[in-house]
Amino acid sequence: MNFQQLRSVREAVRQGYNLTVVAEVLHTSQPGVSRQIRELEDELGITLFERAGKRLTGLTAPGALVLPIVERLLLDAENLRRAAADFAGQDHGTLTIAATHSQARYALPPAVRDFSASHPGVELRLKQGTPQQVAELLLAGEADIGVATEALAGYPGLVALPCYQWTHSVIVPPTHPLADDARRQLTLTLARLAQFPVITYEPGYTGRSHIDEAFQRQGLAFKLVLSAMDADVIKTYVELGMGVGIIAAIAHDDQRDANLTAIDARHLFASNMTRLAVRRGSFLRGYVYDFISAFASPLTREVVDTARSEVSGSVFDI
Amino acid sequence: MNFQQLRSVREAVRQGYNLTVVAEVLHTSQPGVSRQIRELEDELGITLFERAGKRLTGLTAPGALVLPIVERLLLDAENLRRAAADFAGQDHGTLTIAATHSQARYALPPAVRDFSASHPGVELRLKQGTPQQVAELLLAGEADIGVATEALAGYPGLVALPCYQWTHSVIVPPTHPLADDARRQLTLTLARLAQFPVITYEPGYTGRSHIDEAFQRQGLAFKLVLSAMDADVIKTYVELGMGVGIIAAIAHDDQRDANLTAIDARHLFASNMTRLAVRRGSFLRGYVYDFISAFASPLTREVVDTARSEVSGSVFDI
DNA sequence: TATCCTTACGGAATTCGTAAGCATG
DNA sequence: CATGCTTACGAATTCCGTAAGGATA
């Protein structure tokens, strides 16, 4: 039994049982992967993969049973390397942050700037994706930290920590009727808002669910002319006069967005909690804690470790 | 990084940092072990062992930090093999039970006999030792199941399950004054018992602590003429008239021990709980559950797994 | 001086990639 | 017939044990 065999098995599952792809991912030859898997099967004395003729089609029952153990072995191998690297080159390494556009664009910059200044030896990588993709990157070990408002709390393999709460704003061109309302100190209502075409986030993104819920609760329907994955795109189309935008308040900057009027909408939509997540069971290098604290100061190393040790248990079950 | 390197590191710690011994245990050459360790240190980029000149003297701080990860890796490798073997040859394998003499001699036989009959393909191994040794065998992965009355519940790395409660008996030759008392229906008291020299278990064994506590609580001192690790030895010296024996009630059989009179002493000493333990995080083959149920019928597979998953968390912390 | 670790070296075993073969959709 | 896994084979590498060297208690 060796780690290359285990990697081959894990990757075969991840890559949909296509050993040719596995070979590419692992930078080796396809017959090599085939051999690794068969040798492991021989040593263990069980067939891990269902085969239709020659091609692999899925896991056998024994395969499905041992896969979690294989994953844990590879996770711990990675943990070992990280723990060692943390001692070896204390302040050299890589920090990969997976985040949604909104977080990467509006929430992370101060922390990234400060971290980068205080940890010049750490290479920072920022990966963007949907909240689901953020979670998957974490689970696959391809990101150290994930930041998103949605989804993260729903994965048992992740530890999600609340970072900050935020609310929505409505943005309109200065000439828009709603901008007039605001100047006259009129309180914005959902009914009033529903009179205009709306531009906001796609479902599954950045508090979109709370927007839908608010309208539904009042039995109102809003006309969605455009949905986008990030506030910058939304702002662009609001400027073009296509509709009123509903975005995260943090995504509006009075100075930079002088050509748009922002109207506070915290009374209309439920507030949102942005969470930071790490993979349960992953060793975190010292500077990972540093970044987390820089991003959300209440999340000290101690707080993070406490949350990490509050195990649901299921992850380590066999 | 490979498993042989990890094994060398683990064994180096276990064998007191003597690589010559490690080589013997791992059935390899001493320079080989030396190389494995250095190669791992090189790959990880950290020094794992303190060295005084050429010899190893202990773990460095980084070494102590990564050792738990190394142990977990090797444990999971073992788990993987066991899980596979459980599918491969469903009813072939080895079951190693570590127990104290009392358990091996008086409590285990029925379960061992039944199990052996129902699982002819499983080789049974019985290891004896002190309760501490039983715990250490489990923690070192050299036994699957441990049975003892003392100590087992105190190890965070073990899951201890209560099996049965038992009480003490006093044994004397039929001609002994206490035997007369019993025939006259006189209730035995500690004060009366303390009038005679006592033969019982060694400290740390089979409920000895409850015996000491009972006398102490009443401010009585008893004269211990002999202490032994098992009831058979105690019985032998009681037969010789050296004193009265205090042994586990289960260790006396009216027919086999016809030359000794047993007097119930459950009112004198606190009752004892015999526990069965398994290593936390170890994969248990199907027949291990079978044996546990055979030994203590309330301990079904479900009960055992529930106890196993109630993790203190500390074991898997990094 | 005995114990214990490291270095050096050579043979053996393993490993891996290329090329060819074969089954499946 | 294109895709995808297996088999075959040879070269390169790695691995490991023996023997010698050096440091420490």
- Per DSSP, the residues of B177-199 read HHHHHHHTTPPP-HHHHTTS-EE
What percent of chain B is modeled with pLDDT above 70? 97
Token reading at A51: 């085969």
What is the model's pLDDT at position B318? Answer: 28
Give residues 17-76 of chain B lying near strand D (Cβ < 7 A): 28-32, 35-36, 52-55
Tally of CB atoms within 10 A around A14: 13
pLDDT digits (tens, 9 = 90+) for A162-174: 999 999 999 999 9
How would you class A144 by CB atoms within 10 Å of its CB: exposed for 0-12, middle for 13-18, buried for 19 or more? Answer: buried
Q: Which of A27-31, B223-227, B280-284 is the least confident region?
A: B223-227
Average predicted confidence (pLDDT) for chain A: 89
B148 sits within 7 Å of strand C by its CB: no
Query: How far from B123 is each of A148, B58, B117, B301, CA to CA, in Å?
Result: 54, 37, 11, 21
User: Looking at residues B111-125, what average pLDDT do you find?
Assistant: 88
Strand, helix or coil for residue B244: strand
Q: How far apart are CA A135 and CA A259, in angstroms?
A: 36
- What CATH topology corresponds to A168-270? D-Maltodextrin-Binding Protein; domain 2 (3.40.190)
Tally of CB atoms within 10 A around B233: 16
Strand, helix or coil for residue A59: strand
Answer for the pair B139, B14: CB distance below 8 angstroms, yes or no: no
What is the model's pLDDT at position B195? Answer: 92
CATH architecture assignment, domain B89-166+273-309: 3-Layer(aba) Sandwich (3.40)
Cα angle for residues B69, B316, A44 (degrees, 5° grid): 65
What is the model's pLDDT at position A74? Answer: 95
Given a cut of 90, whether residue B38 has pLDDT beyond it is yes
pLDDT digits (tens, 9 = 90+) for B169-179: 999 999 999 99
Alpha helix ranges (H) inside chain B: 3-14, 19-25, 30-44, 61-88, 101-102, 109-118, 131-139, 177-183, 190-193, 208-217, 231-239, 286-295, 301-309
Given a cut of 90, whether residue A301 has pLDDT beyond it is yes
Residues 6+ positions from A286 with CB-CB distance below 8 Å: A86, A90
Give residues 128-147 of chain B lying near strand D (Cβ < 7 A): none
User: Looking at residues B213-236, what average pLDDT do you find?
Assistant: 87
B4 sits within 7 Å of strand D by its CB: yes
Q: How far apart are CA A265 and CA A187, in angstroms?
A: 9
User: Looking at residues A193-219, what average pLDDT do you find?
Assistant: 88
A19 sits within 7 Å of strand D by its CB: yes
User: Residue B214 CA to nucleotide C16 C1', Å?
Assistant: 71
Given a cut of 60, whether residue B187 has pLDDT beyond it is yes
- DSSP at A187: P
Residue boundaries of the structural domains of chain A: 3-83, 89-166+273-309, 168-270
Average predicted confidence (pLDDT) for chain B: 89
What is the model's pLDDT at position B311? Answer: 59
User: Residue A298 CA to nucleotide C25 C1', Å?
Assistant: 57
Given a cut of 70, whether residue B314 has pLDDT beyond it is no
Strand, helix or coil for residue A234: helix
On the CB side of A231, CA atoms within 13 Å amount to 26
Q: Using a CB-CB distance cutoff of 8 angstroms, which residues of chain A are in contact with residue B84?
A: 44-46, 62, 66
A73 contacts B83? CB cut-off 8 A:
no
Best CA proximity match to B151, nearest among B72, B230, B228, B208? B208
Cα angle for residues B174, B208, B269 (degrees, 5° grid): 70
- What is the pTM for the complete model shown? 0.77
Between 1.10.10.10, 3.40.50.2300, 3.40.50.720, 3.10.129.10, what CATH number should domain B3-83 receive?
1.10.10.10
Q: How far apart are CA A295 and CA A261, in angstroms?
A: 28
Answer for the pair A139, A71: CB distance below 8 angstroms, yes or no: no
Question: Confidence band (pLDDT; 50, 70, 90) for A311?
Answer: low
A77 contacts B44? CB cut-off 8 A:
no
pLDDT digits (tens, 9 = 90+) for A105-131: 888 888 988 998 899 888 888 888 888
What is the model's pLDDT at position A315? Answer: 33
Given a cut of 80, whether residue B313 has pLDDT beyond it is no
A45 contacts B65? CB cut-off 8 A:
no
Q: Do domains A89-166+273-309 and A168-270 have the same CATH topology?
A: yes
Tell which of B5, B79, B80, B159 to mutate to test the A interface (max A CBs under 10 Å): B80
Chain A segment 72-91 residues within 8 A of B by beta carbon are 72-73, 76-77, 79-81, 83-85, 87-89
- Sign, Cα dihedral of A188, A191, A196, A202: positive
User: Looking at residues B86-98, what average pLDDT do you find?
Assistant: 85
Q: How far apart are CA A311 and CA A307, in angstroms?
A: 8
Q: How many CB pairs under 8 A join A and B?
A: 99
pLDDT digits (tens, 9 = 90+) for A143-152: 999 999 878 8
